[in-house]
Amino acid sequence: MEEFCERLKFLREEKGLTQKEVAEAIGFAQSAVAFWENGKRIPNAFAIVALAKFFDVTSDYLLGLTKFS
């Protein structure tokens, strides 16, 4: 889970986006993105797919299963 948190935050910051902007783009609350980045909650499958599409990476990359996006 730690790798997911780090990758999510990295991708968001790399694009210069706030948590709120990401949340609005994928249809979730800003607090959800904050919890995911801090490792306090685990995103569901719908959230993982939405994040992968939004950042144009694979879900495997987001989850830390592969080193390449």
Taking only the tens place, the pLDDT of each residue in 44-64 is 999 999 999 999 999 999 999
Residue 28 pLDDT grade (very low, low, confident, very high; cuts 50, 70, 90) = very high
> Per the structure block, which two tokens stand in for 49?
């797919």
In this predicted model, which residue has the larger pLDDT, 69 or 7?
7
Q: State pTM to two decimals.
A: 0.94
**The predicted structure's pLDDT at residue 1:** 81
d(CA 48, CA 51): 5
**Residue at 26 is within a domain:** yes
Residue at 69 is within a domain = no
The pLDDT-based confidence of 68 (bands split at 50, 70, 90) is confident
Rounded Cα–Cα distance for residues 41 and 32 (Å): 8
| Cα gap 39→41, rounded to integer Å | 6
Parent domain of 22? 2-62
Q: What is the CATH number of the domain that holds 41?
A: 1.10.260.40
Please count the other Cβ atoms lying within 10 Å of the Cβ belonging to residue 9.
15
Positive or negative, the CA dihedral 60, 57, 26, 15 is positive
Token pair, residue 15, equals 């694009």
Total domain count, the chain = 1
